[in-house]
Structure 1
Amino acid sequence: MDWKRSRVMENKTKRQLYERIETQMTGRSVRELDLELFCARSLAEKLDISRNLASQYLNELFYEGKLIKIGAHPTCFLARSALENDGFASVYDNAEDLWNQADQLQEKRSVFSDLIGGNGSLHYAIEQCKAAMNYPGSGLAVLLHGPTGSGKSLLAAKLYDYCVQRGLIGSEGRLITVNCAEYSDNPDFFLTSLFGYTKGAYTGAEKDSEGLLALADKGMLFLDEIHSLTPECQEKLFLFMDKGVYHRVGDNQKWLASTVRFVFATTENPDQALLKTLFRRIPIVIQIPALKERPLTEKRELIRYILETEQTKFKMSVRISESAYRLLEQHEFRHNIGELKNDIQVGMAGAYMKAIKNASPTLDLHISDLPSGLVRNPLRNPLMDQGSVSRLLPLGELLPRGGGESRYLLFYQAAMQNYERFQKHELSLDTFLATTTLQLEQYVDFLFFNNENFSSPQEEIVQSLLANINRPLNKKYGMPELSNNEIKILARYFTDLLQNEPISAVELRRRGRSISDFQETLKTVNPKLVSIANEILPLLQTGLNLPLGAFEEITTTLFFLYFNRGYQPAPIPVVIMAHGYSIASGIAELANQLLHQNIFTAIDMPVESHFETITNKLKQYLSEIRNCHEIIVMVDMGSLEGIQKYIDQTADLDIGIINNVTTKLALDVGAMIMEGDSLETILEQAKQRSLPNYVIIKNRVRPKAILTVCSSGIGIAGKIAALVENSFPKKMDLTVIPIAADTLQHRQASGIFDKYNVILILGTLNLKPQGIPFISIEDIINQSDSWALKEKLGMLMNDEELTVFTQNMVRNFSLDNLIDYLTILNPEKIIVYVEEILEQIQKRLEFTLSNNILIGLYLHISCLIERLIIDKRFVYYLNLEKFEAEHADFIAMIREVFGRVCRAYNVVIPTAEIGYLYNYIVQGKSVEKQVECVEESKSELMESVGFTE
């Protein structure tokens, strides 16, 4: 018992020690803390315990991850939970390191820190915004240019918050947001809103009123959809931006001033949508990428963020099926983030109703909950297995906000672990380099394939810098020039450094000795490549304002080792020249990679390049070749085929020229060079091997067609064809062709299949034609195969048009049947009334009737009107009084929607008929069966009272 009591006391004291540290830190930043209060001696005095015991508990809490340690004298400890930011290391050598880290983290925790893409696709845009706002005076005007729903309004709001945080806008400065589209048809209203007006300026101006410029004084004015303003309004806006003063409308004497920061936004091309005078006053135009242009990781973060926001609203745990998540991830949203958010909200609303109905504790979002326009038969998507349809993912299993550690940091950790194993002799030098190169390849794959649609302005700048220093450096060191693809790899690497957190100074110091040894090891492997890296980095550091240290030198050297793997001068070098930005580079790089030897060099010829420029490049390349007496030049086509005329004939080289270069031909030539074949043999063999083969695939573009077929013969098939054509919601780029069943069955219609691309067969008889889907007319009417219809006609009609098509099919099918039933009424005229009645009934009752019921009602109501006109039939409804008492609202609604047709034909709908409509519409009972039952009941009633006709 004494042991247990002692243990409890220890835990209590340890907890008090931790709580003491938390309390002393509360409400203070790291720089505001007196670190001496957090050492063992000071804390021991506060808790009245021994210094040794306090030191023991502090170290235990440190190893539990609850404290961070500052190795000053004396050693201090801080509670991780009380720090104002995440991202602090576990150990700091001194207080200065801690403070520097805190400053860096605080800078990163700016108003943009929680903006998805802030360190990715939006990084350059944000930096441009910051530069514009920090310009002396009231900053520079900014135009945000991007598609609808891409986040322009959010970025403008963040920009205002940034100005407030930086003290650029005081507490009195406001953000005024204006949607200029609201003023597109009323320019005078915009001008009075912008500048204000005086009493009597126009009818109704009963007093002076301030405008938006006055309200936004010392603040920010965000004008969205700026392209909607008329030229007159744009001109007035320009004049204010130019002079900084304005008149109120109705006062041409008194000048007013306003100091306002302007942010504009547009979805249109500003060169075409804005007046040249106004556009010149907006020095910074910032491109906001569409959702499809942003990295996949950012799209995943957006999905998770929206789901988390919805989870907070509904106050329920949210799960999403894997198939729904993949669909959101893969779908291309035309209206970008706004459409993504709307579609998720629609899905959440449906999922919430299901959760309430099933009394579920969780809100589960399935693919069936998402809008129909988003879901295009997802279960047929080959990326989705059966398990993914039902597998539910809690939000915690989705990609975390921020995406975790950067891939560059992960590569750094892996490379350093490899090197430390090499130092311990656990890996040989070759194994160490091979393993590290493989991890470098994985990092490159991430940079490209996870961001395949994304290219930032920063990347283009880096690419340009690298291209400019490429030739001088490689000429100096006698190495092959970097190809366009290799330049792009390096550009994306340095762009990744620009957009992500650098490796912390604490971490670099911790591994400083190992990093230095790593550099020395690479010098022994290839000192020339280390020298190239050492020359490149200072140039990029200056040009990009990017701090590049020892590990960046290591990584750059590893890239050059990767590019020059297995490099040995080929006995017969080959230079490939081809039209296009990186066609030649691509062929050369792939051939070198597959042959494991650097045989090929590329000279790319962009389409806009001058021929003389390309020939000069070749001449320069030939003049720089050393210790080589033979060379092969491979060209693709056109002017390059006559390039021998421009080559210096005095060059001490035998030059072979091969045209029609392809990857296969390059591989054949490379293989022959490696086998030691002579130049003449290689050229002769290349000529024979470059002869093309051909295969004819007879699949010319044919007009699309739909066939209609019926077991009753070509006559009914023709009626079906007319029914389909009359139901199309618009003029269709296809032909509807009736065909006899036996002709189709015995494949005697081969002429039709040769002439037309038959995409679908409609009718009453499925002859199972090979490779062509069949849909029965009955299935269309019953809506039982809507997916097949969408799949085949979706390329010709959108969802809304498909809905109209099926509705028209029902209407026209009913019209054809009415011709057989009606005797005095014009079917085409009465069906217009009935269509209006059915539309109103569905609208009032707030549900959609099935096509089967609609067809029945078309027939029933049309015949009902005719019956009332000629009074052919007596109708009896069982329990009529009870129906009148219980369903007065329904009766009133029916009389109202029937009002127009009743007035047209001078009839009144009996309540008994309304009763049958109620049963049919609301209860889904068959009218025909009801009438039969009623007729029997009526006959029995008449006989029981002795009445006979």
Structure 2
Amino acid sequence: MKRIDLILNKLKEIKSSKPDGVSASELAEELDLMRGNVSNDLNKLVAEGKAVKIKGKPTLFIAVDEEAKVSDISVINKFSETNPSLYTALEQAKAAILYPPNGMNILLLGETGVGKSTFASLIYKYATEMMVRSKESPFITFNCADYANNPQLLLGQLFGVKKGAYTGADFDKAGLLEKADGGILFLDEVHRLPAEGQEMFFTFMDRGVYRRLGETESERSAKVLIIAATTENPDTTLLQTFTRRIPMVITIPALRNRGVEERFNLIKQFMIEESGRLGRSIKVSINSIKAFLFYDCKSNVGQLKSDIQLACARAYADFLSNRKKEISISSLDLPTYIREGLYKEIEHRQLWNKLVDINKRYCIFDKDEEKMIFEENSYDENIYEMLEMKTRDLKAKGIKGTEFEKEMENNIEDYFKKYITKFNYKVDTANLETIVEPHIMKVVEKVINFCEEELKRKLDKHIYYGLAVHINNAVDRIRRNKKIENLELNNIRKQHSREFNIAIDVLKILEQSLDIQIPVDEAGFITMFLIYHNEALKKTYNNVKVIIIAHGETTATSMADAVNGLLGSDYSRGINAPIDEKPQITLEKIKEYIRKNNIDSEILFLVDMGSLATFGREIEKEFKIKTRTIPLVSTLHCIEATRKAMLGYSLDDIYRETLEVNNLYDNNSLDYIPETSEEKRLAIVTICTTGEGSAKAMKGILERTLKFESSLLDIVPVNFIGKENIYDRLEKLSNKYEILCIISPFDLEADYIQFKLDHIIAGNASENIQDLIDREKVYIKMEETLEHQLRNIDGKAIVKDIKRFCRNVTKAMNIKLTSNALIGITLHMAVMVDRLSGNEVIETYRNKESYIRENLELYRLIKSECALLNTKYTILISEDEICYLMNLFTMKNRVK
């Protein structure tokens, strides 16, 4: 059961005992959950109509009695809720439809694209809903502009034609009036109807009768409600005799007059509709939402809908062509005229109020949700999104090299400290079962047992809980085809080699048990769990005060009230600094507040400008309290700081992450990913001399005994006897495939690993061939991993070079390496070459001279194989690095 469902059930359960409502704090304590998470889920339940919020101090929540809810809400009333500017128009429409005995004809006025056709369709739905028209009654739409150049044909379409009425009228034809009998006829662009046609219509609207073109004697009757629409002034384009027959004139306002919230609701509606068409959720950056909200949309709702459809179509094309892993829209993907909306000087407080969690970078629209949800990006939920966000931010700031690595290392360290700490005091087994899938829990138990055996110690239960949730998140991410990246992978491998090797084996357990492919990067994260001990799990909950100081009579207190109202708390405090008040008096007010409330915890000051920024230092001197100050603050800064303080973050963390508010704009499209040519597939070639039948039989044996994905490898049968020389055939196959090995009844003079047919039949070679396949899978994994690890060289190219390097060294040494060793060597060498290409410093190897003397033969072998890398990448691999490489090929890494 999800956390939000758990909260809803509890809300329903305690409704009878607490009919006036329950606060987020009470629920959090009752369920032993974090208050911030409970508050967030309660607000989601309110948005979904499953709970009601009662404002006050504290804010209370009550579960909605779903059985008592009115399910049949009028379609017009639903529409009115999200389009309040159309309230008057909708009330007019309702009155016209319900007017006895058959309703009033309607004329809709409005600019191109305001939604007149949609409005007419809504009127029809309301008519059938209120049963003044049957559900089977017709609703026919006709655009008069389509036939404006041929008035005779236009009238024939509307009223019908009698045979012989004009040249070409070879048979009787019913018109749209006849087809719309009992229903509604919508005439768009009615000003294109000629005067003759308008006269024919006012006769019909007066008496309910009409004639087909060419009919003179008989009259026909029909009961049809007319809805006409025009973009022109009816006083100058329509006959008065026509407009007098339409008593209900409704004006649809232009999009620019409909307000930010309404435009936001339209964007949400259109995005959800596109999600339904594409059959997938659509991820849209906050900046893109802002651009759609404020760009100059001259053709109104119609243009907004078209522009959104076009953006979704482009994102879908990127997804299908594998340029993106999901359907996502960034502001950089939008045309310039839409992106200009980002720079409009328009008050957007309504937007921030609508998107309380604006610090989440993306909105996700899904047809199945019928609402907009936010993608979680905080480390409280998931490390992967946190690291993606940090990486984009650091790259956007131009931070790279050693500084970049240090930042990422600190972020991963901080994440695990806080993540494990959270499980130390917030998670129990019952809660865990509501978060983690049962079959994953069983696999985690298997993993824990394995790790404890390898580490020779018991893992604390908090690590058990944290690891379970983390693996659950990882599996979910892989299922959704989202990348798992760990930019500190090589450092983690070097610093914690023992735990890293255990983590590599854990990946194999997970892959076998869950039948999924897991990137090597995940081993780095699992390693972090394994290196934590009980002493690292002390609870660290901080109580940082947030004080807002701003110039003006009520500026600071208004900001604090807005923040506390949005977060349902009374946490932040505002202290006003009137313009004519001396700074010293304001400072004394702050000191008095600290004394009066006995504040001894750390303080974050959020100030607007001037001397207020210096108050923190004065407070530190007098009260010996640690402070931090952020100038030029906005309401958004205040929301973020207060939210983090309520969650118990440290002062420095709150300070750092509040400053990150300035970098909310999405930078996900800054990295260019070049297109690559199609990769060669792997192949095992089976050769026979008695016709391809035997080779195909060998193929069948191999397919039954080996484990491999068909997308990775082909088994290719070849007949030795044929028109072409066998070596020519192998040469041609090598253009298409990377040949893994050859199975042949005799030895060939070819530079491929070879196995005899009789060994295959006896089953003696299967294990060795499987080992070759597994090694290739390792290298493929490493290609994916190194794509985001390296800055100066191409990941796929270096993996091929390292593969050749390892093959030559192991062959010369007559050894085989474990898959764990291959991963370590590949990662180490790739990062080494990358650093040398970037002219970065390499670490010194201790006792280098003596180590080389003791292993002189191995030194010469490694050094000679490094020559190709030196030439290709224009680098010089030092003796220190050669020693590190020698160490990686020692006994502990060999297959026994």
TM-based fold match above 0.5: no
TM-score (norm 2): 0.33
- When Rg is computed on C-alpha atoms for both structures, the one with the higher figure is 1
Relative contact order, higher structure (CA 8 A, sep 6+): 2
TM-score (norm 1): 0.32
